[in-house]
Amino acid sequence: MVFNSGDSAMSKRIIAAAVTAFALTVSSGALLTSLQAQDSAVQKPTFSADGSVSIPANWRSWVFIGTPLTPNALNDGAAPFPEFHNVYIEPGAFAHFQKTGEFANGTQIAKELVLVRAKDADDMHADGSTNEVSGRGYFQGEFQGLELAYKDTERFAAEPGGWVYYSFGHKAPPYEKTAKAFPTESCNACHEASADTDFVFTQFYPVLRSEMKKSEMKK
């Protein structure tokens, strides 16, 4: 732009406006970057003074990773957990897993139990399966419990892998609002012995296995 001397007041105003607009662009860019960083940050749970953990606020909006099923009919009529196990990972922890193939410190994984959908005895097979329009099988009924696995190698330095395990009740909602960690031998030990990836049963979670393949390919 070329200004003659008579326009100098005007030109100063134009320059000032341009500088302000530039500053706004830069600062909104910085704000966006910090929001994005926040979005992908791993969210840890909250703890009370007595050390119990609070139930996650919205685990059903976390990233769904898989649904193992161990029905009674295949477990001598009495499976310890006859329900579907719907498993979800906290989104920030999922983003980290996508990038690295590893569970970040602070990872939370929720497992919600869902009863096999029941019908009148006349409409159910002896193994608990039912016929629906898509075929004969097991379909999800009502919610029946919530568990949480949490990794924190600082807070739980004494637990193998830093993993602790909680239950908010093996029953219909409403679930308990808080839970105390189980002793190591009740939960952690079996996960350590039999889970494929860092105490987590990725062998049953296709969503995580597909991310592991992608992050392997990047290496």
**Footprint of ligand HEC (CB under 6 A):** 68, 70, 85, 87, 109, 111, 147-149, 165-167, 182, 186-187, 190-191, 195, 200-201, 204
Task: Decide whether 69 or 119 has the Cβ nearer to ligand HEC.
Answer: 69
Closest to 181 in 3D by CA, of 142, 136, 145, 147: 147
Q: Minimum Å distance from CB 146 to ligand HEC?
A: 9
CA distances from 165 to 74, 150, 151, 172 (A): 26, 6, 9, 19
Task: Decide whether 79 or 124 has the Cβ nearer to ligand HEC.
Answer: 79
C-alpha neighbours within 13 Å on the C-beta side of residue 70: 10
> What's the full length of the chain, in residues?
219
C-beta of residue 151 within 8 angstroms of C-beta of residue 163: yes
Task: Decide whether 95 or 195 has the Cβ nearer to ligand HEC.
Answer: 195
Closest to 59 in 3D by CA, of 33, 38, 89, 25: 89
Q: Minimum Å distance from CB 166 to ligand HEC?
A: 6
Q: Which two tokens stand for residue 118?
A: 């029941």
Q: Minimum Å distance from CB 193 to ligand HEC?
A: 8
Q: Minimum Å distance from CB 180 to ligand HEC?
A: 11
Task: Decide whether 24 or 189 has the Cβ nearer to ligand HEC.
Answer: 189
Q: Minimum Å distance from CB 122 to ligand HEC?
A: 30
Closest to 82 in 3D by CA, of 149, 129, 33: 129
Task: Decide whether 58 or 134 has the Cβ nearer to ligand HEC.
Answer: 58
C-beta of residue 110 within 8 angstroms of C-beta of residue 166: no
Question: Taking the CB of residue 54, how many other CB atoms lie within 10 A of it?
Answer: 13
Task: Decide whether 34 or 75 has the Cβ nearer to ligand HEC.
Answer: 75
Q: Minimum Å distance from CB 205 to ligand HEC?
A: 7
